[in-house]
Amino acid sequence: MGFFDDLVLPEEPATERAVLARLAVAGEDEGRYAPPVDRFAPASVSQLDVVGAGAESRVVLTGWSLWPRSLTLHLAVFRKALREGSDPRRQSGLRVGLRFSDGRRVTSLDGTITRHVTVTGPRGPSVAATPQAIGLIPLDPGPQHSRRSLFKTDVDLYLAELPPPGETQLVVEWPDEGIAETHTPVDGAALRAAARRSIEVWPDLEPLEATPRAGLLATLTLGGPPTLLAPPLTRAQREWLRREEEARQRYLPRADWERVRYRDWSDTALIRARLDAGAPPGAGIGHLGATTPLHRAAEWGSQEGVRLLLAHGAAVDARDAHGHTPLWYAACSLDEGRVRALLDAGADAWTPQSDVWSPGRLLATTALAPLVTHLPGARELPAEDVAALRRADALIAAFGTEPLWTDGLGVAFVRGLSEDELIRRLGADPDRCPMVDPEDAPFDPMDYDESLRYVAVRAVTGAPGGCVVRQEGYLPSRDAVLEAISTGTSAYGVYFNPKGGRFGTLARDGESVARDEIGGGPHRSDPSAYWHFRFWQPQGAGQGTFPYGADILAYACAAAGLSIDDGRHAVDRRAPARWVELPPELRRR
């Protein structure tokens, strides 16, 4: 008689049944984020220690499960009182970590990475992104966990590596329960030796020859890792800590200019702390040492910071990699205090630094001219430059003083045409294009592709005036539109690319004749118009004397041959306009 024969009834042999799922050969992520429970029986190492003690709580280390290349740490949390209304996911919850003999640290607070997982659904495999815990990974014991009780909670933490030989420190802290940081020694070599005793259950597993039949096999477990564990920091919390640490480190003595960002040059206390610690005032900083602290302070800092660097011996006329002195950048910023500080230290104002342009020549075109016109080497501006600056300033002023919304704006100026004539050149009937408010435009402004089919047309007065074509898109700067509207005249289109850059095209008599990227600080080889239209000046709210983008719009007007009195309404996206649907041949991308 067999061992169980008297306990069971005889049955027919089981028939062969279809396979629902079959264990596959281990993938590259096997054991990286969870124990390899399907393939190995772990070795167990018992280690009973109270690793954290508070007035009403104890954290007990009960042992380890060792896999070939990883481990699971088993803790038991005992409490004699549960309190009402406590937040179960506080940062001051239970914290667990390991400090290895080689100095590395892993913790239950190491956060997550984005893991890309292949998921097979009715339409085939697809890749899903999911957050994945790293470090000491809390494991879910499941809702039916046999050791779950009211006053005892088991905490299992998985580590996807074995500790190096030598002493590892298990570190536990739980501020909410009054458990101070506690260190418990662990023998890393003993854990590694135990891992070699784990048993591989399927050492000869063969690759699957075919994909199992279509179907769905799923298991569902509810619960999650114990809520008494402190959660990892969120991205916002990590950023806050980073800023706090930067603030703490900000004024610590250091004899260099590392980690001083652009906005930091206005912090005189920071500059003083660096100088007092021995940071050289004439050091080469920035990319490949292309500039100096005084250049940065002159461009971005304060009068006090500039004077402080000068008092510590910074060379007032040092040249950077572009051949400019600090006074050049102070002049371009139009900051009177920084300009005065450099001039008081004897800065050379009138030696040219970019073609004929010097800091003094730049300042002579602004309200700060009295600071330099009496200095040695001063020169009067040529009459043609004075006239060009006046024309440019008048065109810039035509776009007003209030902020302009230019990001993503495409606009073309065309000389001498009426609205009706321009609409006809765009392939539409003027009688079918009335002036309407933006909310009555014949398209959905939220549909970008549909909005590209239309442009707005407005006249601008001047001597001569003309018309403006605008769009929240790039087509007014493209050849097809510009060539259609410029027959017998000239037109200039520009696109304010929200990704960066302002790109312009000039068309004359139906032909595109020139293209340029405009608006960057002018360089030695750039046209004189770039200087006259003040591409070197600061602009925008709180920075300059005209709205951001007004200089580019004024330049486009001049390039098209317009001299307008008021162009703001023509480029204002909130202003009424006559909407024209472009024919397909003008919508070529």
Angle at the Cα of 316 from the Cα atoms of 311 and 320, rounded to 5 degrees: 130
Which class in CATH covers the domain with range 250-381?
mainly alpha
DSSP β-ladder status, 435-436 and 577-581? antiparallel
What angle, 0 to 180 degrees and rounded to 10, lies between the N-to-C axes of helices 336-344 and 326-333?
Answer: 150
The predicted pLDDT at position 22 comes to 83
Q: Give me the residue spans of the domains in the chain.
A: 40-81+88-200, 250-381, 389-586
The predicted pLDDT at position 84 comes to 72
Query: Is the distance from CB of 461 to CB of 418 less than 8 angstroms?
Result: no
What is the distance between the alpha carbons of residues 502 and 539, in angstroms, rounded to a whole number? 15
* Alpha helix ranges (H) inside 251-382: 268-276, 293-300, 303-311, 326-333, 336-344, 359-363
Name the architecture of domain 40-81+88-200.
Sandwich (2.60)
- Burial (CB < 10 A; 0-12, 13-18, 19+), residue 320, is buried
The tens digit of pLDDT for each residue in 311-359 reads 999 999 999 999 999 999 999 999 999 999 999 999 999 999 999 999 9
The tens digit of pLDDT for each residue in 284-311 reads 999 888 999 999 999 999 999 999 999 9
The predicted pLDDT at position 143 comes to 58
Mean pLDDT of the chain: 90
Q: How many CA atoms lie within 13 A of 347 on its CB side?
A: 34
DSSP β-ladder status, 410-415 and 502-508? unpaired
pLDDT at 69 over 60: yes
Which whole-number Å values give the CA distances from 42 to 39, 162, 196, 352, 476, in the listed order?
10, 13, 9, 78, 70
Angle at the Cα of 154 from the Cα atoms of 149 and 157, rounded to 5 degrees: 160
Q: How many CB atoms lie within 10 A of CB 162?
A: 19
Which whole-number Å values give the CA distances from 306 to 268, 298, 331, in the listed order?
9, 6, 13
pLDDT at 213 over 60: no
Residue 136 tokens read as 């000491």
